Amino acid sequence: MNIRNSTSNIGNPTPFNAPIGVFDSGIGGLTVVAELRRALPDERILYVGDTARVPYGGKSAGTVTRYSREISDLLVTEGAKLIVVACNTASALAVPELASSYNVPMIGVLEPGAVAAVKATRSGKIGVIGTRATIGSGAYSRAIYSLNPGVSVTATACPLLVPLIEEGLFDDEITDLVLSRYLEPMLKSGIDTLVLGCTHYPLLKNAILKICGDRVTLVDSAENCALAVKAILARSEHAVVEPHLDILLTDSSEGFLRIAEKSLDLKIDSLAIRSVGN
């Protein structure tokens, strides 16, 4: 597949085939795209990967919000009928400020994950792993406590995981060691439910399961976000002409296609480079 520079609208979308707009800082949001494809196989999807500015997890709230606004503006310009913020950091820091700024629905991955975690826990002890920014915001804890004040939440920042995932080190002893360092204290605290509070993390699901075993239920925010999007679209009158997956990256990424096609079994119909922001 050729990668092209792009300035014009993708496929000239009309209200009848308007895409679902999805964005993340890098490859992590592809896990949301994969779940959207499973839940809504006939939909058009336009994904923006902000590969020039990945990762978002160590950046300030103001910077994440600015990046998120720039990409949301792009998606709206491209005719998106709904914006999926496929990034837990942006969901925590930017969605509360931006959601009312657009005339299309905006949904993050955080709230659906919190709802699923509360439903899944048996002991009331829930663990959350995410980037420094997501965990530092306290957004998951607040969302979970708002649903059930009686649960206990243990939240751990895992800043080394996104770089390992972006390098494609899904099945690697270094990744296993890092995961063990992060997860063992949480397991000792007795959690029975673990929220994968970063859309990159489902790519490490097998490695996480090796450490946690069947004593812990994993909550995949990507999967639950896709189900929430399906529920929103079920109430709309949007018609779909044909499924399509268009990708816009803000910089070239050597591993992007490999992970999309081999790890997530995604067929990409077009891939282009688009500059966003300054």
Residues acting as catalytic residues:
87, 198
Tokens of residue 273, six digits: 């480079």
> Which amino acid belongs to residue 233?
L
| C-alpha–C-alpha distance, residues 89 and 177, integer Å | 24
205-212 helix and 173-188 helix, angle to the nearest 10 degrees: 50
Give the chain's length.
Answer: 278
Which helix (DSSP H) or strand (DSSP E) does residue 11 occupy?
none
Q: Residue 166 and residue 251: Cα distance in Å, rounded?
A: 14
Q: To which H or E segment does residue 85 belong?
A: strand 82-85
Q: Are 125 and 189 in contact (CB under 8 A)?
A: yes
Backbone angles phi, psi at 269, to 5 degrees: -85, -30
Neighbours of 134 (CB within 10 A): 28
Kind and range of the H or E element at 47?
strand 44-49
In the DSSP assignment, the letter for residue 199 is T
